[in-house]
Amino acid sequence: MRVLIQQALLISTVGFISARQLSLNAEGTFKIVQFSNMFIDNYGTNYAFTMHNVQNVVDDENPDLVVLTGNTVAPLMEDSFTDKFTEAIQYFKDLQIPWISTGGEDAPESIKRDQMFSIEHSIGLASDLHGDTLSLSGLNNPQSSTLGQYTARVPVMTSDRTQVAFNIWILDSQGGYDCDGNKQGKSCINNSTVQWFLNESAQQNKTKFQQSDLAFTTYPLQEYMTAVNSMPVYGHFGQDVCCQAINTGTFDAIKSSNKIAMISAGADAENDFMVNYHGVKLAYGRKSGYGGTRDLDMGARVIKIASNGQISTYIREYDGDIYEQSSQQVPAHNATTAQTACCAKYDIQDTTSDPGLTNQGEIKWTEMNGNTLIQ
């Protein structure tokens, strides 16, 4: 069975895109790999190591779906978005794994967000061997100009495809640095999107799993900042939370819906922590690309939905190690170190030389589709 996405295929053309319908596997489970901040740029070493990470994680995990958060393409390279995004999804195309994007940062004076979205779907159409699209971005979005192009509700059906098991929600935080005139943080999930989520989630009352929905966004909610100020978190907490400049009530809407068990954000490349905040897991992906800020070893967040709807998650590192996070507790900020405002730095590194390998550890595999990437 196929589903239809109504979105802009080209900048001036609106049409219907036939997309794959996701479903639980024969065991009644589902697996997602979240690649965050792949940061594809012009440098061969960066790309080779990034693709090593992608290949290793995908081969280890065999995911049903990939979610792309943060900057898949380096913002300074967005003028070459078609080429760079094509490079980013090459392995997913080879294995015919569908993906969803949250949309990344919009670099000043670069390609527009609606253009990036249209290009992604053109690539998705060209990648699917069945004539559908591998990109599920924007699915069930009735008004992209208001809600943001990447906002979506992506249903995952039961194994027999007779019922929705759970939903994946993409809430587009718009990718900029201004939220209704407030520049003290990143751009935000707007009020219209929050209201759309409330209305849409209220209609999802016949899902198999009662509270197993997942939400993804590029920029973390302000509640991430509140959490690190008030309770211990698990994993790496290496930088301030660059959250959305205004709290538009997204978390309260998610909490009141009783649908979503976990929110995972991109951006903030030095964070991969997770915390249970008022009954909802708040998490980051792990930095997945070799370019840009890279203080953590490359990897990806893995999210598994069991046959009873229970959710488990961990970090799969590029060398194959699994990082469970439960053993590394970072204490809450104290009164003198508490973060009081979302950071708003424009953190893009314009690398002018091939930086070589600085990650600690050994990259195990050197083959992708038979081609040696690293000698």
Quick one: pLDDT at residue 236?
A: 93
In the numeric block, the tokens 């995972």 are attached to 264
Region class of 45: left (phi > 0), else alpha (psi between -120 and 50), else beta: alpha
Gap between the Cα atoms of 210 and 287, Å rounded: 31
Running DSSP on this structure, what letter comes out for residue 34?
E
**Tokens representing 365?**
């595999």
Q: Are 165 and 22 in contact (CB under 8 A)?
A: no
Specify the pLDDT at position 20: 77
Q: How, if at all, do strands 30-36 and 65-69 pair?
A: parallel
pTM (whole model) above 0.95: no
> Contact at 8 Å (CB) between 188 and 221?
no
Point out the residues of the chain with pLDDT beneath 50: 1-2, 4-15, 346-375
What pLDDT shows up at residue 312? 96
Q: Are 271 and 294 in contact (CB under 8 A)?
A: no
**By the 8 A CB rule, do 266 and 257 touch?**
no
* 60 contact partners, CB below 8 Å, separation of at least 6: 316, 320
Nearest to 135 by CA among 110, 159, 152: 152
CATH architecture of 19-372: 4-Layer Sandwich (3.60)
The predicted pLDDT at position 220 comes to 94
How far, CA to CA in Å, does 366 sit from each of 50, 288, 355, 359, 372? 12, 17, 19, 16, 6
Q: What was the pLDDT predicted at 18?
A: 67
pLDDT at 271: 95
Query: What pLDDT shows up at residue 281?
Result: 97
Q: Summarize pLDDT for 241-287 with one digit per residue, the tens.
A: 999 989 999 999 999 999 999 999 998 999 999 999 999 999 999 99
